[in-house]
């Protein structure tokens, strides 16, 4: 059975002069009940709930899970930014600024902003509900001091934008006129918190992503903020306790299908195909997340067995290992500083890691050597 009461919106014609005319898409309000009776959606929903519950279990099963969460955030920041043409790789994203070449520094700074934006938004959810104010503050962090800083960071746009094409006349998609945004965003915020709606959380999150990307409320950064909204809603709805699932990797792998699916809703009101695509992404990403955590546990056990053989330095080695779960690429000076030990002691410690093949030296030089917890780091590069 198809959803018969979902109307995506309509196209509105705008004229400025005989040479400048375009159509923008005016989305319908969504703060109302929708009835979902497609059996495939029900099956996918059941699988998504099961897998997210299992993934969330790792947040309690793994000691010091926050050390591992940082790498999930870094991976999301690089992947989500890559969709927008920002080319920093995860290897660079965890290095200090002085380790980044000048030609790559702008992209690196944008990824660092996104990491800050994710961490800020997740932290703020402990203090206030998901709201437009939080989204605007997060957007301000995302664009501060980087390309896009002139595009009103933290402010809802007051001019028309468009997606694709060299100008508005040949754009792939033109979002709603800026005068419509206050009403649309108010409706979206009410939809998030309307407890009278009997709509499963996963489906509300799917509809939110579609609606946010359609509204495109900022002049820049909408894609990254829209993808971040997914994890914020998963946390606020208590589906996840920690930010351990991000769909950017799935969206990037299926980029054409992703954009086509969003556009199909606008063209034919077919929200069901979008929900099925979205739930498939949740399922695939949750499976990958579970496998990553399983491999983390396996590696952690191997590392700890190796460290037991270190003798007296074992306690310092445990401290270093825990730090490297958040910072898997490291220099000897950083070890000395973080563990508050001498440079020579830090050097001896990392040499023990090197002898047991826990780390690899990746510069090939005798000075300013950089070491990577390589098997662990590779889990996030796949």
Rounded to 10°, the helix 255-268/201-215 angle is 90
Please state, in angstroms and rounded to a whole number, the distance separating the CA atoms of residues 50 and 372.
Answer: 35
Decide if pLDDT at 66 tops 60.
yes
pLDDT number for residue 18:
65
pLDDT number for residue 226:
96
Please state, in angstroms and rounded to a whole number, the distance separating the CA atoms of residues 304 and 310.
Answer: 10
Share of the chain above pLDDT 70, in %: 97
Instruction: Compute the average pLDDT of residues 67-85.
Output: 85
Q: 65 near 58, Cβ under 8 Å?
A: yes
> Where do runs of H (alpha helix) occur along 216-342?
222-236, 248-253, 255-268, 271-308, 314-326, 332-339
Q: How many CA atoms lie within 13 A of 374 on its CB side?
A: 11
Decide if pLDDT at 1 tops 60.
no
pTM: 0.91
Task: Using DSSP, state whether 11 is helix, strand or coil.
Answer: strand
pLDDT number for residue 3:
59
pLDDT number for residue 104:
82
Decide if pLDDT at 155 tops 60.
yes
Beta bridge partners of 330: 371
Instruction: Compute the average pLDDT of residues 11-33.
Output: 87
Closest CA to 67 of 319, 341, 340: 319
Which CA distances in Å does 295 have to 48, 72, 134, 366? 21, 14, 34, 32
Share of the chain above pLDDT 90, in %: 68
Decide if pLDDT at 119 tops 70.
yes
Which CA distances in Å does 162 have to 148, 213, 232? 15, 12, 26
Decide if pLDDT at 46 tops 60.
yes
Instruction: Compute the average pLDDT of residues 348-365.
Output: 92
Please state, in angstroms and rounded to a whole number, the distance separating the CA atoms of residues 152 and 161.
Answer: 13
Decide if pLDDT at 224 tops 90.
yes
DSSP 114-178: HHHHHHHHHHHTTTS-S-HHHHHHHHHHHHTTSTTTTS-TTS--SS---BSSSSGGG-SB----G
pLDDT number for residue 118:
93
Closest CA to 48 of 277, 216, 337: 277
Give the pLDDT confidence of 249-307 residue by residue, as tens digits. Answer: 999 999 999 999 999 999 999 999 999 999 999 999 999 999 999 999 999 999 999 99
pLDDT number for residue 150:
78
Q: 248 near 79, Cβ under 8 Å?
A: yes
Decide if pLDDT at 13 tops 70.
yes
User: What are the phi and psi torsion angles at 208 (to 5°)?
Assistant: -60, -45
pLDDT number for residue 68:
81
Please state, in angstroms and rounded to a whole number, the distance separating the CA atoms of residues 180 and 338.
Answer: 51
Task: Using DSSP, state whether 14 is helix, strand or coil.
Answer: strand
Please state, in angstroms and rounded to a whole number, the distance separating the CA atoms of residues 92 and 100.
Answer: 7
CB atoms within 10 A of CB 165: 12
Q: 256 near 179, Cβ under 8 Å?
A: no
Give the pLDDT confidence of 161-199 residue by residue, as tens digits. Answer: 999 888 888 888 999 999 999 999 999 999 999 999 999
Instruction: Determine which helix (DSSP H) or strand (DSSP E) holds 313, and give its type and residue range.
Output: none
- Identify the structural domains of the chain with CATH numbers, from first to last: 34-292 (1.10.3290.10), 309-379 (1.10.10.10)
Decide if pLDDT at 319 tops 50.
yes
Decide if pLDDT at 345 tops 70.
yes
The mean predicted confidence, pLDDT, of the chain is 91
């Amino acid at each position: 059975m198809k959803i018969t009461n979902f109307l995506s919106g309509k196209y509105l014609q705008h004229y400025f002069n005989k040479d400048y005319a375009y159509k923008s898409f005016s989305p319908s309000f969504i703060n109302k009940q929708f009835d979902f009776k497609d059996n495939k959606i029900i099956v996918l929903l059941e699988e998504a709930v099961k897998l997210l519950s299992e993934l969330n279990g790792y947040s309690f099963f793994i000691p010091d899970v926050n050390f591992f969460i940082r790498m999930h955030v870094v991976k999301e920041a690089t992947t989500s930014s890559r969709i927008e043409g920002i080319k920093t790789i995860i290897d660079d994203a965890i290095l200090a600024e002085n380790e980044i070449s000048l030609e790559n520094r702008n992209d690196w700074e944008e990824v660092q902003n996104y990491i800050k934006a994710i961490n800020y938004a997740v932290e703020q959810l402990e203090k206030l509900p998901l709201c437009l104010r939080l989204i605007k503050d997060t957007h301000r962090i995302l664009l501060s001091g980087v390309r896009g800083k002139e595009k009103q960071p933290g402010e809802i746009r007051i001019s028309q934008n468009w997606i694709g094409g060299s100008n508005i006349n040949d754009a792939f998609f033109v979002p709603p006129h800026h005068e419509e945004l206050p009403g649309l965003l108010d409706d979206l915020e009410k939809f998030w918190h309307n407890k009278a709606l009997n709509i499963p959380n996963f489906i509300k999150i799917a509809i939110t992503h579609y609606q946010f990307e359609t509204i495109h409320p900022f002049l820049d950064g909408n894609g990254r903020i829209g993808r971040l909204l997914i994890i914020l809603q998963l946390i606020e709805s208590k589906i996840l306790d920690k930010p351990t699932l991000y769909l950017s990797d799935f969206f990037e792998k299926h980029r054409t299908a992703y954009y086509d699916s969003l556009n199909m809703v606008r063209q034919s009101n077919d929200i069901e195909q979008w929900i099925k695509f979205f739930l498939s992404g949740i399922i695939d990403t949750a499976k990958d997340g579970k496998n990553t955590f399983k491999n983390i546990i396996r590696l952690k056990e191997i590392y700890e067995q190796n460290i037991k053989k270190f003798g007296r330095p074992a306690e310092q080695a445990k401290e270093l290992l825990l730090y490297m779960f958040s910072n898997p690429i490291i220099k000897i000076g950083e070890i000395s500083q973080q563990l508050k030990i001498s440079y020579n002691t830090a050097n001896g410690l990392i040499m023990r890691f090197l002898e047991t093949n826990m780390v690899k030296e990746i510069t090939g030089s005798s000075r300013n050597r950089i070491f990577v917890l390589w098997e662990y780091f590779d889990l996030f590069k796949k």
